Structure 1
Amino acid sequence: MNDFFKFYSGSLSGTIIVIILFLFIRFLLRKQSNYIKIMLWVILLIRLLFPVSIYTEYGILYSETFVEKNENLSAQEMKSDNSLQIFPKDENTSKPYMGKKKNINILMILWYIGLLVFAVYYIIQRIAVCRRTKNAKKISSQDEIYEWKESMACVIGLVKPKIFLPFDLSPEQRQIVLQHEKTHIKRKDYLLMMLYYIALALNWYNPLCWLIYFGVNKDIEMACDEQTLQNTSMEERKFYARTLLRLCDKGRLKYVSAMRPFICERSTLKMRIKNIGKEYSCQKTIYIVVASGLLLVVLFGSFLYKKIGLNNVDSKELARLASYKSTLNFDDTMPKIGYVGKEQLVVYDNMGVYVYDLSSSDLTDYVDFEKNHFKGLQGDDATFIHVSKDGRYIQLSDNEKQLQYDLKTKQQKNQLDKKESWNPKTEPMGVETAEYYSVSDVYYIGEGETCFLAINKNVTPNYGALLCVVSNVGAEKEYSLFD
């Protein structure tokens, strides 16, 4: 559920930029055929439904995570946010003080509540429409055409759309309204609006998506008018306009995206009537050029985000990694400390190297062995890990290749500089405190401090319980790594 939420919320900035570009193109095409405008909205729909982002070094945006870092976070959210929480000792007990219970991610819950509201609204509208169509009378033996008591004409349904007409239309009015509704069915407008309803539900927090949704509805109606009135005389267009005015004057049934109404809101009626008198040229060259340009804009939107760190690791990937690791049991190779200082901790295991910023309590980077074509820590092709004395450079090597990664500049190169490796003193004794199982050696890091990886004896020994314990005379701090 969290990954689904992040897929849409994490691309908000990129989606806004793409929508603004589409609105600008829509403004430039305002005097062109309405067919082109519909093509514009169809291509934009791809971005709204599938906001895929490809991270590169040339990106200009950083992905939003929408995870709150405050007292309202739950333990599960801690996993998603990769926070290294420092649990101080309770003065009255020998056990760590775990703090207050946390609440769940409010933003994610609000997003799912929004989805639920859209789903419930759609179901309620469908029930209301079905009740009103219950007494409708079928007037065609070949087509799904019905008359009802409502004073509007519309298309209802997704799989087998049906046309509903007011019972009091004249033969001439019925003919032209029926032609309009059949055009909607032929163009699959009801499916387009349904997909836009789903896109709006997924992006309801984005105000531009609401603007787009109602703009699409208006352009669909005008495009349908344009196609219905092709090759018609001026008198027929005037009659069409009078029919629009007549139906708009009467009461109106509220509708959602499963219905395509002949009439529209009063605010757009003037626009539609002005559109009736226009003649548009349809040149295939223009369609090809515009479609190519729009696809380039969508593609551009997919490359807006900046690559962060090695292996394209960003905050979302780190969140997924921490959540995944927290559920794993230890494998044959226990995690080891590669470097520890006052503000930084480097830990590695059989899968990769993890970098923690102890001052901000965050998992900040990750070097994946598999993505960089390295094996694990055992066997003939074992990977060797070295961290420079200042903790800035991580060096990986095996029998065939080598890699050096600069934690400060986030750059990598396939050769090793001569760096003095971190080589701490190892305490000969084990962990004396009765609270922990020691997972690593006890390292002396200066000023009377020692550190080691451990787990509390009262919890299940897995990655979710892994701690870095920094112990000094009369003081002790615990850094929860993956929980």
Structure 2
Amino acid sequence: MEQLFIGVLNNAITVSALIIAIIVVRAFGKKMPKWIACMLWMTVAIKLVVPIQFESVLSLIPSGKPIPTNISMETKPQISSGISSVDEIVNPVISQSFTPEKAVSINPMQIFFHTGALAWLVGMAVMLIYAATTYMLIRKKVSASVKIDSRVYECDDISDSFILGTISPKVYIPSSLSDEARVYILKHEFAHLSRYDHLWKPLGFLILSVYWFNPLCWIAYILLCKDIEYACDEKVTKNIEKGEKAEYCRILLENSMPRNMISACPVAFGGTDVKDRIKNIVNYKKPAFWITLASIMVCAVVGVCFATSRNTNTTSEQQTVKLAQAQAENQEQTPKSEKSVWTRLYEGDETAADPKLELKETTDPKIIDFINKFYEAQASGDIETLKGMHKDLSEYSELRTKAMADHIEKYDSFNIYNQPGPHEGTNIVYVFNTVKYKEYDKPIPECSWFYIYTDENGELHVNDNIADEATKEEWKHIDLASLQPSVHKVYKKYPQVDNDTYEKVIIKLNNEVAEQIKAEVNKNN
């Protein structure tokens, strides 16, 4: 459920720019045919409904997934909007508020998204119940209608004309209407039917019910309802005389009904912004061909620039390049011999490698035995053994290890490499292996990084908290070690987990484990 909620959140965030762009186009495109404005809102609907992320090199949306799908499982959760200034402001707040602490039994980010998902479902249910209730009340009111034509019904209990129904829509009109008013009102309602507005409006409300938490989606729905009426009015009045326009406006004004609540149904004759509709009818002139063409081109540009996102792989590569460039720009443009080691390593200069930090295949039997014992304990959920091997094993890590053990069949194909750490008796250890999950038929490649130290008794331990405890000099050593050419060469030797497997297996598994942890916490409480 949380993964679905994150997907909805990503859609809600990325569609916001598209909605704002359409609002701007509407504001400046007064002469744009209103049916084209409705097409623009269709792009919003497509983006919110279609699960596929459309990509384009012309897109102005930096990332289609600003919230990573695995954010609730991260120990240091971060968003990746593709806008560095936004990430720099938001990520420190997220890290400070949602990073799990040692004594915390469950990741606060999981609680946040679980609670958010429940609130989202409740809000969606309220919206759908409201729509269903409104529909049933209107159906009850028109139940005593009299059929006067193939799709037209007359009713004593209504004061406004409207279309009700989606599969078999019917036009309902008040029995008190004059013959003159009836002619124009039926023209209007049948224009709605020819444009399938009786489908678009409920679909818009259904989408709004899913994205109810985004204020821009409410604005989009309100403007859609207005544009539907504007487009219908234009369809009715484009081929009538000026005097008939005046008569149509009079009938519209006389039959307008004030409405203060947003509704999913029905499509009503005088239900939306009558003052602006009359102004639009009076000022309407059939647009020149070039205006229509330009409007369609604007519609296409808005769709390409704001309804698509940039290629995520390309964005990631660009960020890597920018990081390397930023590191290089921080250094003075000096001759090769005077450049910093970091700059030279980022530039791929292997002569800057430090032989003492070369990543080598581990031959130390003590480290090999320690790693094998560590993974055996992980696979079996042996918490007591792991407690003796960790510097500090948090309660959350214990629960997660136990839960994961239920899914792990075995670890295999170990390849262990190490570099000397910043102090005597410390090692930076890389483990390349495979893990066979019970729910998946193939072994999945893994790569793990460990900071291992030797205690006063000569025993090895894993320090999971090195990121929080390392001094500036220790981090300098670890950072420099990670940049060594030998590290990159070793990584290239081993297969990495592909995106499809990650999405289908690992994320799904993480979600199941998160649910198991929640159940365990609730049982203990």
Q: 1:423 to 1:67 in 2, by over 3 A?
A: closer
2:301 paired residue number: 296
> Hey, what does 2:369 align to over in structure 1?
431
Deviations 1:369-403 (A, max 9, x none): xxxxxxxxxxxxxxxxxxxxx9999xxxxxxxxxx
Residue of 449, 454, 460 corresponding to 2:426: 449
1:182 to 190, 198, 201: 190
Relative to structure 2, which stretch is displaced further, 238-247 or 50-59? 50-59
Q: Secondary structure at the match of 2:155?
A: strand
Computed over aligned residues only, the root mean square deviation of the Cα atoms, in angstroms, reads: 4.8
Separation in 2, partners of 1:221, 1:478: 62
> Under a length normalisation based on structure 2, what TM-score does the superposition of the two structures give?
0.57
1:244 and 2:252 aligned: yes
For 1:214, the aligned partner's letter is: I
TM superposition score normalised by structure 1? 0.61
Bigger shift: residues 224-233 or 148-157: 224-233
Is contact 2:53–2:309 with CA below 8 Å preserved after alignment?
no
**Residue 15 (structure 1) aligns with:** 15
Residue pair 2:362, 2:416 contacting (<8 A) in 1 also: no
Aligned pair partner of 2:285 in 280, 284, 301: 280
- Residue 223 of structure 2 aligns to a residue in which SS? helix
Helix, strand or coil at the partner of 1:248 = coil
Aligned positions of 1:8-407 closer than 5 A: 8-12=8-12, 14-50=14-50, 52-54=53-55, 61-62=62-63, 65-66=66-67, 99-100=105-106, 103=111, 105=113, 106-140=115-149, 142-248=150-256, 256-265=263-272, 268-302=273-307, 304-305=309-310, 307=312
Shift of 1:2: 4.5
Aligned partners of 1:8, 1:238: CA distance in 2, in Å? Answer: 46
Indicate the residue corresponding to 2:390 in structure 1.
Answer: none
Shift of the alpha carbon at 1:300?
A: 1.7
The letter for the 2-side match of 1:118 is: M
Q: Which has the higher contact order (CA 8 A, sep 6+)?
A: 1
By how many angstroms is 1:261 displaced? 0.3
Q: Matches of 1:230 and 1:309 in 2, distance apart?
A: 48
Distance 2:450 2:143 in 1: 71
Residue 272 of structure 1, CA deviation:
1.8
Residue identity opposite 1:171 in structure 2: D
Q: Contact 2:12–2:48 (CA<8 Å) still a contact in 1?
A: no
> Equivalents in 1 of 2:361, 2:447: separation in Å?
21
Partner of 1:473: 454
| 3-state SS of 1:165 partner | strand
Q: Is the 8 A contact 1:152 1:263 kept in 2?
A: yes
CA gap of 1:472–1:454, structure 2 versus 1, over 3 A, is farther
Q: What is the CA-CA distance between 1:9 and the residue it aligns to?
A: 2.5
1:304 to 1:252, Cα distance in 2 relative to 1, 3 A: closer
Distance 1:281 1:177 in 2: 21
Distance 1:186 1:257 in 2: 19
**Matches of 1:271 and 1:471, distance apart in 2:** 72
- The structural deviation recorded for 1:442 is 7.5
> Shift of the alpha carbon at 1:77?
7.0
Distance 1:166 1:54, change over 3 A: same
Q: Give how far 1:176 is off.
A: 1.8
Aligned partner of residue 169 in structure 1, secondary structure = coil
Q: 1:138 to 1:77 in 2, by over 3 A?
A: farther
Distance change (3 Å), C-alpha of 1:55 and 1:173: closer
49-58 vs 188-197, greater mean Cα deviation:
49-58
How far residue 101 of structure 1 moved from its aligned partner, in angstroms, is 6.5
CA contact (8 A) 1:26 1:40 kept: no
For residues 59 and 27 of structure 2, what CA distance do their matches in structure 1 show? 29
Whole-Å separation in 2 of the counterparts to 1:282 and 1:57: 29
Cα deviations by residue, 1:441-465 (Å, 9 ceiling, x for unpaired): 474634202447599xxx9999799
Q: How far apart are residue 472 of structure 1 and its match?
A: 1.8
Q: Percent identity?
A: 21
Q: CA deviation at 1:423?
A: 1.8
Q: Which amino acid aligns with 1:277?
A: V
SS at match of 2:251: helix
Q: Is the 8 A contact 2:230 2:277 kept in 1?
A: yes
Residues 65, 145 of structure 1: CA spacing in aligned structure 2 closer, same or farther, 3 A cutoff?
same
Counting only pairs closer than 5 Å after superposition, residues 406-425 of structure 1 correspond to structure 2 as 422-423=359-360, 425=362
Q: CA deviation at 1:108?
A: 3.9
Counterpart Cα distance in 1 of 2:178 and 2:100: 78
Q: How far off its partner does 1:146 sit?
A: 3.8
Contact 2:256 2:269 in 1 (8 A): no
The 3 A distance-change label for structure 1 pair 98 and 37 is closer
Equivalent pair of 2:163/2:170 in contact (CA under 8 Å)? yes
| C-alpha distance in 2 between matches for 1:59 and 1:40 | 17
CA distance in structure 2 between the partners assigned to 1:156 and 1:253 by the alignment: 19
Structure 2 stretches lacking a partner, 5+ long: 80-94, 320-340, 378-413, 456-460, 466-496, 498-505, 511-525
Q: Kindly tell me: are residues 263 and 310 of structure 1, through their superposed partners in 2, closer, same or farther at Cα, counting changes over 3 Å?
A: closer
Match of 1:351 in 2: none
Contact 2:38 2:227 in 1 (8 A): yes
**C-alpha distance in structure 2 between counterparts of 1:146 and 1:258, whole Å:** 18
CA distance in 1, matches of 2:244, 2:59: 56
Is the CA contact 1:32–1:280 (under 8 Å) kept in the aligned structure 2?
A: no
